[in-house]
Amino acid sequence: MKRTLRNGLCLILAILCLFCCFACVKEPEGPDDSTDPTIQQTEQTPTITLAASTLQLPEESAFILSFFEADEKLGGIKSARPTSANAYLNDLILDQVQLQINSLAPSDSKAAALDVLAVYQVESTYSFEFLAYYDLSDGSRKVAPFFVSTDFTSGTILTLGNRIRLSNFENGNANEYVPAYLAEHFAGQYQADLIPAITADQRDGFYVSAGGATLVYPAGSIGNTDRLSVYIGDAAISQYRRTGTTPTEAPADLSGGDYQPAGENEKVVAMTFDDGPGGASTARLLDYLEQNNIKATFFINARNVANLENSASDQALLQRMVSLNCEVGNHSYSHPYFSKISVSDRIYQVEHNAELIEAACGVYPNLFRAPGGIFMKNQAYADDYFFIDWTVDGGSGTEDWRCKNDGDGGVHVANAYLNYIGPGSIVLMHDIYENSVSAAIIIMSNLKAQGYRFVTVSELLDLKNKVPDGTIYTSQTTSRNYMSYEQG
């Protein structure tokens, strides 16, 4: 394997030498172990070299670097891509590479080719730096570098977000927060007039570094500089991390004022509603919450009952939740049991749903509740989400969803739930059923009369002071005294 690798890289090196007169491509800096973010100017080295450290791929990782000649799919003269032992990940890499090649293609490009320039490894993560070559209609050739980062353990493509937990900035408010972070942290280290260029999103991409990621800026994008590498560590960015509400608002439902994690005698409850939004029943619930100034948490499926991406009324329901300081969480896109779908499908279910939620209401969720409460061990998105189980679901046989056709205005269900609810409960109900909403209203009215306060899940668990670490928040003390935590 090593010999194949060496031969392949020699071939690449030869090709790079051929092309280096066409484009000034510098090798990026190697992984940076420092914890403080710094800006580093690359040295003025005119030749392309491959850092030896990037070639030391561990045998035990079953990592194979393969080179493919004249890959038709890439329409190229020559192309190369890495392959892992994970066939699924290989497909993800290929898809990602193809996306990048397409997005970088000049309008007059006639053909494209691809090479791997470097590999960066930190533990199970690998970043591949590619060079895309485009033959242009005037006979010239353009070279465009880009990166694809992967995690071989979780079998995922890493985004900058899930690498350094910038995910909440990658959509929506990215334009607001990434520049804010960069400007603040690099202001003292770089000429003031170059800061706007640093904060503009003109990166070649990023590669994995210990404890974070290194952003790479193309030559000439920041003043008259060479290519720049900017390390961002997770610790440094953490203070900018969004925690469940749009950051431009005061995070009213997270700051929660004086809320402390529930003590034994503190009457606080987090009402949570899954599987919606549910149209008229959800609207009725929101009416009640608004009239009584009660905050709840909604775990949304973009495509289950709702049709979030295509329905303005469904989107309006989410917007209304946010406006009422309710919390919006992720319950997967279409509600499959995660034990029955592949790791890749789980990732899609989580990430696609989050994107649609953000598109609908401006909030990128940071709470995840698995459909059916079936949390799996292989949770590639564990860095981005707090996993929220529930503690009260009505008991055995009187769960709200089982009783949706009771026809008694929710009385039976409400009585069952009230038997279990106590200080600190996380109550599971479903706002897609009229009977459940009726029961929820009875429950909340009753609890209110008992002196209970209603808080969001983040407030109940004091999540603003925590970082997602794979913990599944649940309880052993009420009706749901087990956890569905399966192999996977």
The residues carrying an active-site annotation are 274, 430
**Nearest Cα to 383, choosing from 238, 486, 282?**
238
Q: Does 32 bind Zn ion (CB under 5 A)?
A: no
Instruction: Choose the stretch contacting Zn ion; rule: CB under 5 A; options: 32-40, 52-60, 267-275, 420-428.
Output: 267-275
Q: Which residues lie below 8 Å from residue 29, measured CB to CB, with a gap of 6+?
A: 40, 42, 214, 229
**Nearest Cα to 207, choosing from 97, 114, 126?**
126
Counted residue by residue, the chain has a size of 488
Tell me how far the alpha carbon of residue 363 is from its chain's centroid.
13
Q: Which of 204, 274, 389, 431 binds Zn ion (CB under 5 A)?
A: 274
Our CB check for Zn ion shows the closer of 274 and 459 to be 274
Q: Which of 32, 129, 204, 275 binds Zn ion (CB under 5 A)?
A: 275
Least distance in Å: CB of 274 to Zn ion? 4
Our CB check for Zn ion shows the closer of 67 and 385 to be 385
- Distance of alpha carbon 293 from alpha carbon 291, whole angstroms: 6
**Number of residues in contact with Zn ion under rule CB under 5 A:** 3
Our CB check for Zn ion shows the closer of 343 and 428 to be 428
- Distance of alpha carbon 378 from alpha carbon 355, whole angstroms: 21
Least distance in Å: CB of 370 to Zn ion? 9
Residue nearest to Zn ion (CB): 274
Look up residue 129 and give its two tokens.
Answer: 């730096």
| Pair 299, 389: CB distance under 8 Å | no
Q: What are phi and psi of 201, to 5 degrees?
A: -85, 80
Least distance in Å: CB of 331 to Zn ion? 6
- Distance of alpha carbon 272 from alpha carbon 425, whole angstroms: 10
Least distance in Å: CB of 254 to Zn ion? 24
- The pairing of beta strand 141-151 with beta strand 156-158: antiparallel
Look up residue 133 and give its two tokens.
Answer: 């070559």
Instruction: Choose the stretch contacting Zn ion; rule: CB under 5 A; options: 53-61, 130-138, 273-281, 445-453.
Output: 273-281
Chain positions 91 to 150 lying near Zn ion, rule: CB under 5 A, are none
Least distance in Å: CB of 353 to Zn ion? 12
Our CB check for Zn ion shows the closer of 274 and 314 to be 274
Query: Residue 268: helix, strand or coil by DSSP?
Result: strand
- Distance of alpha carbon 262 from alpha carbon 468, whole angstroms: 20
**Nearest Cα to 127, choosing from 166, 171, 175, 159?**
159
Instruction: Choose the stretch contacting Zn ion; rule: CB under 5 A; options: 179-187, 245-253, 258-266, 269-277.
Output: 269-277
Least distance in Å: CB of 390 to Zn ion? 10
Tokens 């049709």, residue located: 307
Our CB check for Zn ion shows the closer of 212 and 373 to be 373
Bridge partners, 387 (sequence order): 368, 472
Our CB check for Zn ion shows the closer of 384 and 400 to be 400
Look up residue 452 and give its two tokens.
Answer: 């209970």
- Distance of alpha carbon 334 from alpha carbon 437, whole angstroms: 21
Chain positions 349 to 408 lying near Zn ion, rule: CB under 5 A, are 371
Least distance in Å: CB of 401 to Zn ion? 8
Bridge partners, 132 (sequence order): 114, 144
Our CB check for Zn ion shows the closer of 212 and 371 to be 371
Residues that bind Zn ion (CB under 5 A): 274-275, 371
